[in-house]
Structure 1
C-alpha cells in the first residue's frame, strides 16, 4: 500500500516544521561576501583563482560529493524496491 501526502508550504514553514535552523542571516552574509569578492574580478584568470579559493578541493571535491549522492540514491532505491514486495 502506498500513501502520498502533499504539503503546500513555504521553505521557511518547512524548515520550522522539521526543526531546522533559520540560516537566512548567515546566507545573507555569505552572499554579501561573495558579491564583494566578485567586484574585483576583471578577467577569467582572476575568476578561476577565486573559485579555487572558495572550493579548495575543487574538481576532486565535486566528484566525491557526486559519488556520495549517487551511492545514497542507489541505497535508497534498493531499499524502497524491497519494501514494495
Structure 2
C-alpha cells in the first residue's frame, strides 16, 4: 500500500503551519548591512590604494635604495669632473 500526499502552499504558509519564525526582516537587515560595507570597501579596491596597502615597506625600501644609488652616482660624477679640472 502506498499513500502520497501533495501539499500546495506558499513558503510563508508552510512556515506558519510548522511554527517557524519569519526571518525575512532579519535577512533584509543583514543584506543591507553587507551591501553598505561592500560599498564602503569599494574605495579600497582602487589600484593605487591596494598598492600602498600591500607594499608600503618594500616600496619605501626601494625608493631609499634608488636615492642612495643616485646620490652615489652624483658623487662619483662630481668627483670625476672635479678630478679632471685639477
Same fold (TM over 0.5): no
Structure with a larger share of its residues in helix: 2
Q: Which has the larger radius of gyration?
A: 2
**TM-score under structure 2 length normalisation:** 0.43
